[in-house]
A and B are shown apart, each in its own frame.
Chain A
Amino acid sequence: MKKLKWFSAMIALTVVLGGCASNANQQPAASGSGEETKPAPTLTVAYSEGGTTMDPAEANDLTSDTLVLATYDQLVTYGVKTVDGADVANTEDIQPMLAESWEVSDDNTMYTFKIKSGLKFQSGNPVNADAVVYSFERVSKSSSGSFLYGMADIKSVTAKDDSTVEIVLNKANHMFTQIIAMYTFSIVDQKLVEEKGDDYLKTNAAGSGPFTLEKWDPASEAVFQANNDYWQGAPKLSKVTLKFTKEASNRVLLLNKSDVDMAIEIPPKDVAALQENSNLTVKSNASNRILFFAMNNNVKPFDNEKVRQAINYAIPYDQLINDVMYGQAKEMKSAVASNTPGFTDAGYVYEYNLDKAKELLKEAGYAEGFSFDFTLGSGFDDWEYDAVLIQAELAKIGVKMNINKVARAQFLEQQKDGNLVSYISKWTSFVNDPGYHLGFLLYGEGSSNYIHYNNAEVNKLWEEAGAEPDQAKRNELYMKAQEIITTEAPWAYLYEYNRVVGMNNKVSGYVYYPDEVLRFYPLSKEQ
Chain B
Amino acid sequence: MFAYTLRRLLQMIPALIGIVVITFILSRVLPGDPAIVMAGEQATDDVIAKIRMDMGLDKPLFVQFFSYVGQLLQGNLGFAYHTGHPVLSDFATRFPATIELTLASVIIAICVAIPVGIIAATRKESFIDHISRVFSLIGACVPIFWLGLLFIYIFYSILGWAPAPMGRISGDLNPPTHITGLYVVDSLMTGDMVALKSSLAHLLLPAICLSTGTMAIVARMTRSSMLEVIGQDYVRTARAKGLSETAVVGKHSLINALIPTLTVLGLQFGGLLGGAVITETIFSWPGVGGYVTDSILAADYAPIQAFTLVSAILFSFINLAVDLVYGLIDPRIRYE
A252 to chain B, nearest CB (A): 10
Tell whether A413 pairs with B177 under 8 Å between CB atoms, given A52-B83, A243-B284. no
Chain A residues positioned under 8 Å from B149 (CB to CB) = 247, 249
Mask for B290-324, Cβ within 8 A of A = 1, else 0?
11000001110000000000000000000000000
Q: Chain B residues near A334: list those with CB within 8 A.
A: none
The answer, yes or no, to whether A509 is at the interface (CB within 8 Å) is no
Complex Cα gap A15–B179 (Å): 13
A339 close to B (CB within 8 Å): no
Q: Which of A130-138, A158-166, A217-225, A291-299 contacts B (4 or more CB under 8 A)?
A: A217-225
> Which residues on A sit within 8 Å (CB–CB) of B156?
253, 257
Contact indicator A60/B40 (Cβ below 8 Å): yes
Over the window 407-442 of chain A, the binary record of Cβ atoms lying under 8 Å from chain B Cβ atoms (1 yes, 0 no) is 111111100100000000001011000000000100
Q: Shortest CB–CB separation between residue A60 and chain B, in angstroms?
A: 4
Cβ B167 vs Cβ A220 within 8 A: yes
Q: Does A108 contact B (CB under 8 A)?
A: no
- Tell me which residues from 24 to 70 in chain A have a Cβ below 8 Å from any Cβ of chain B: 24-25, 28-31, 44, 50, 52-53, 55, 58, 60-61
* B50 close to A219 (CB less than 8 A): no
Known: A25-B174, A218-B83. A18 touches B191 (CB 8 A): yes
- A144 touches B (CB below 8 Å): yes
**Distance of B181 from chain A, by nearest CB (Å):** 13
B60 lies within 8 A of chain A by Cβ: no
Contacts of B97 in A (CB 8 A): 219
Chain B residues 72 to 124 lying within 8 A of chain A, measured CB to CB, are 81-85, 90, 93-94, 97
- Chain B, 154-196, contact with A by CB distance < 8 Å: what is the 0/1 string? 0011001000111110011111110100000110111110110
B47 within 8 A of A: yes
A143 B36 Cβ-Cβ under 8 A: no
> CA–CA, A186 to B191, complex, Å?
45
Q: Tell yes or no: A259 within 8 A of B by CB.
A: yes
- Among B33, B45, B290, the residue within 8 A (CB) of A409 is B33
The reply to whether A250 and B290 form a contact with Cβ atoms under 8 Å apart is no
A495 at the interface (CB under 8 A from B): no
Q: Verify B164–A412 contact, CB threshold 8 A.
A: no
Residues in A neighbouring B171, C-beta threshold 8 A? 44, 221, 241, 243
A147 contacts B47, CB within 8 Å? yes
**Cα(A35)–Cα(B84), bound, Å:** 41
Q: Which of A218, A241, A406 has the most CB of B within 10 A?
A: A218
Output the least CB separation between A359 and chain B (Å). 36
Interface presence of B244 (CB below 8 A): no
By a CB distance below 8 angstroms, the chain B residues around A217 are 93, 286
Query: Pick the contact of A447 from B44, B153, B186, B191 — CB < 8 Å?
Result: B44
Whether the pair B152, A250 counts as a contact (CB closer than 8 A) is yes
Cβ < 8 Å to A, chain B residues 42-59: 42-45, 47-48, 50-51, 54
Known: A407-B32, A430-B42. A24 touches B282 (CB 8 A): no
Within 8 A of B (CB), among A218-253: 218-221, 241, 243-247, 249-250, 253
Task: Kindly provide the distance from the CB of B99 to the nearest chain A CB, expressed in whole angstroms.
Answer: 14
Q: How large is the interface on B (under 10, 10 to 19, 20 to 34, 35 or more residues)?
A: 35 or more
Beyond A28-B173, A220-B284, is A448–B153 a contact (Cβ under 8 Å)? no
Residue of A53, A249, A412 near B41 (CB, 8 A) is A412
B93→A410 contact, CB < 8 A: no
Least distance between A214 CB and chain B CB atoms (Å): 12
Q: What residues on B are CB-neighbors of A221 within 8 Å?
A: 167, 171
- A25 and B194 contact, CB distance less than 8 A: yes
The answer to whether A21 touches B284 (Cβ under 8 A) is no
Task: Verify if B213 is at the interface (C-beta below 8 Å from A).
Answer: no
**Is the Cβ of B290 less than 8 Å from the Cβ of A219?**
yes
CB A393 to nearest CB in B, in angstroms, measures 28
Chain B hits for A407, CB < 8 A: 31-32, 297
Contact B50 A413 (CB under 8 A): no
Residues of B within 8 A of A60 (CB): 39-40, 43
CB pair B39 A144 closer than 8 Å? yes
Q: Given the complex, which residues of A lie within 8 Å of B268, measured CB to CB?
A: none
Closest-by-CB residue of B relative to A199 is: B84
Contact partner of B83 (CB less than 8 A), chosen from A50, A246, A411, is A50
* Docked CA distance A53–B174 (Å): 24
Q: Which 4 A-B pairs have the closest CB atoms?
A: A409-B32, A18-B189, A219-B286, A410-B31
Please give 15 more A-B residue pairs, beta carbons under 8 A apart, in addition to A254-B166, A409-B298, A412-B36.
A18-B179, A25-B194, A143-B47, A146-B50, A147-B44, A203-B85, A220-B286, A221-B167, A243-B171, A254-B165, A406-B31, A412-B32, A413-B33, A416-B33, A447-B45
